[in-house]
Structure 1
């Protein structure tokens, strides 16, 4: 049987006018490496769950995105990281929010799924669990980049207003393996200048991340407060499973609902039949996909939708 892998590195104001050629080159190169990491798992008859974790780990290490190293900073200048992972076979899931000392939050989320009785851990408790599980640590000095600190200072100097049209760099992956099982993973630093322990949609199962073998796997990126209110990831799967909508149509319809509320962003979806789609309502979406049939594609600009 065939397999499919799709990635995103954030949706937002990505245009030739807002990104330098070096930024585009760096981001697309990283997407290619992440695609290779996930594809190697799937080509070796590995699981969709292993593939999405492998791909997201690569992106968490790359400073071109807002996750792991290079994450957006809180109002107090701290990298607080969120991530989630979900297995479509049994809808088992794990997620973390506000972690501050872990190199790969997606792997910590998987540890929550595999080695705890819980789904979502946050803050100091999640950091303690990471140490107990032996997850690879990272210092704030390693996670925080000068560019992100400069972005925070610029935002605070301008009054610190939340901007739903800012450039998002959340990363995610969805896959369907050769056995027809799907999985999704998402990782982010949230929004620049976030306060009071704010948590967005990425680590919330059903909002920013969801996987169900009966429908598909979804990873989201965008204005998290709106994605939470709509329950975007689960809503796409529900429209496909209950309403019988193709995932391409379901993604479009749900993001139209988000846009009507005032939010923007993008989604990637992998269905159990091997269909893969993305849809976004912003000028750009860092994206990549590959299947056992080939069709390698990596992009930043251009119009939505994209389906295969």
Structure 2
């Protein structure tokens, strides 16, 4: 009887251990799952004087719509790259921003569009530059990443690739907005007079849109889209489509920049932020503010960026009067802001 009792106790103990192990294994994925976050920007250089009440209202609405579109992808368990492209597509379709529909004009009165995406988990990337008829450049950049052996395509070649792969093409007139046309006319007039004012020189560099996301599997992604610089010439390409300059993501960090592209290219700004996180042990806030608020201005440029870490911490530094920006977390509540003196709601102490 004693042996039987011992066997029963032993079996019960083994059963308890097995149950505990099973429960632990079942709960492990949930414990390891990341809380999804999406952070976006619609460009630095926002100035109150240049925005009407309706302009401001429309911009806020578009930012919130973009956040909800990206959040829907994350909530469905989709990868971070899906959230990034979904959010940026909304911003490209909104005429308030210098990307897609609201792109600025070149010196010759055309719209030249650039975009890039990068998947932090695989380090795969895709970029396009100088296209004129692609409705959503960010989607074409992703197609370059997924359906070609290349990272960047430009001009006519990129448009031929777009057509071959079923991208939505539009007439160039689709991108024409009166606001952007008048900005070009003003810039041309100032240029002809030889007395370009500081506001024109500053304003023409801004308006890029971008997004960074962290999905439930802990994967990061980044994307950026832009119409470039007002009155640009000679096929100029800025930082947005250049991997490492305006767009970058790895397993630890994702960044999208907005500002005077030449300075971001020279600083390799997006990669520099992630390098400081990965190799110097800096926080997302410390690394991004060091590059955006110290290095870029010291060199003569200005602008902003959004940066997101694999731990869900993020930062939105900028050194202009304002930057269209926002974030959304697991609860699905969008938070947006435009101006520097405007507080952006924070998830605990994560947002800076």
Which of 22, 42, 60 is equivalent to 1:9?
42
Q: Matched residues in 1 for 2:245 and 2:64: separation? A: 27
Deviation at 1:270, TM superposition (A): 1.2
CA distance in 1, matches of 2:81, 2:140: 14
Give distance in 1, aligned partners of 2:94 and 2:137. 13
- List runs of 5+ in structure 2 lacking aligned partners: 1-32, 345-349
RMSD: 1.5
* Alignment partner, residue 179 of structure 1: 217
- Counterpart in the other structure of 1:226: 263
User: Is this contact kept in 2: 1:280–1:305, CA < 8 A?
Assistant: no
1:241 and 2:273 are equivalent in the alignment: no
1:164 match: secondary structure:
helix
Whether 1:36 and 2:72 are equivalent positions in the alignment is no
Give the 3 Å change call, closer, same or farther, for CA 298–233 of structure 1 in structure 2.
same
CA distance in 2, matches of 1:305, 1:181: 28
- Rounded Cα–Cα distance in structure 1 between residues aligned with 2:205 and 2:127: 24
Q: 1:244 to 1:305 in 2, by over 3 A?
A: farther
Which of 212, 229, 239 aligns to 1:201? It is 239
SS state at 1:103 partner: coil
Q: Distance in 1 between matches of 2:339 and 2:183?
A: 23
1:296 Cα deviation (Å)?
3.1
**Deviates further, 144-153 or 263-272:** 144-153
Alignment partner of 1:262 out of 274, 278, 300 = 300
Q: Which has the higher contact order (CA 8 A, sep 6+)?
A: 1
Match of 1:253 in 2: 290
User: Aligned match of 1:84 in 91, 116, 123?
Assistant: 116
Structure 2 length-normalised TM: 0.84
* Cα separation, 2, equivalents of 1:150 and 1:141: 15
TM alignment of 1:77-156, pairs within 5 A:
77-156=109-188
Answer with 1 or 2: which has the greater Rg.
Answer: 2
Name the SS for the 1:151 alignment partner: helix
Structure 1: 5+ residue stretches without partners: none
**2:285 and 2:315 in contact (8 A); partners too:** yes
Q: May I ask how many residue pairs the two structures share in their alignment?
A: 306
Structure 1 segments, 4+ long, off by >4 Å, are 303-307
Tell me, yes or no, if the aligned pair for 1:53 and 1:106 is still in contact at 8 Å. Answer: yes
The CA deviation at 1:294 is 5.3
**Deviation for aligned residue 1:104:** 0.4
Aligned-residue offset at 1:302 = 2.2
Please give the alpha-carbon distance, in whole angstroms, between the structure 2 residues aligned to 1:121 and 1:284: 32
Q: Which has the higher helix share?
A: 2
**Match 2:253 to one of 210, 216, 221:** 216
